[in-house]
Amino acid sequence: MDSREKILIMEEALDRHYGVPDPPSGDPLEILIRTILSQNTNDRNRDRAYEGLRRRFPRWADILEAPYGEIAEAIKGGGLNHQKAKRIKEILKWVKERWGGWSLSPLCRLPREEALSQLLSLKGVGLKTAYCVLAFGCSEDLFPVDTHILRIMKRIGTLPPGTSASKAHELLAPLIPQGKAVPLHLNLIRYGREVCRARAPLCGRCLFPQICDFRKKENGRRSSQAPRA
């Protein structure tokens, strides 16, 4: 069974179990800043940091005018606050200079590859962040790969064990069923948190055991360790 077939089985099983989630949508600039804040932390800390940022700086222009230290203090609940403060300020400077205002909506009107190139030119913006902005802010049919998805795809066997997150975007993009990228992304993240966890995965609750290389290896390991009569 090839990787495309495995992904189709996963997509159908997840839709049956969780339902098809409504794709979230929002302002592309807000999504970009939120995604920067989400790096190396969880959703709760990201949201806390974003709320702190907007409470302290109601307008984007306020952030651009503020010292780095004040920005870092506002987002300290999200971790790496000094690094993220610098990146956020640099991004807002780019938005103002490149687009002449405080909106990234014009980005959504560019061809996909050009929009990706624009985002990837920014320090601190990798493929996952760029894909999130275009998928959730511009309704593009793109498949962002986070740590949960990378782990699951390696365990299933659709990605080689040593695949980087950047390479995973390249390898998985042509395998995702058309129009299913965002719902599959959302369901896989939920599945990675609830079942296929980084530590102590709940393999007994696996929705697709018949295609999981990790489960087969674990079963083989247990069989080899079982005492013989």
Active site residues per annotation:
128
Query: What phi, psi does 155 have (nearest 5°)?
Result: -65, -40
Query: What phi, psi does 25 have (nearest 5°)?
Result: -140, 155
- Which one-letter DSSP state was computed for residue 75? T
Tell me how far apart the alpha carbons of residues 21 and 134 are, in angstroms, rounded to a whole number.
Answer: 18
Tell me how far apart the alpha carbons of residues 50 and 60 are, in angstroms, rounded to a whole number.
Answer: 12
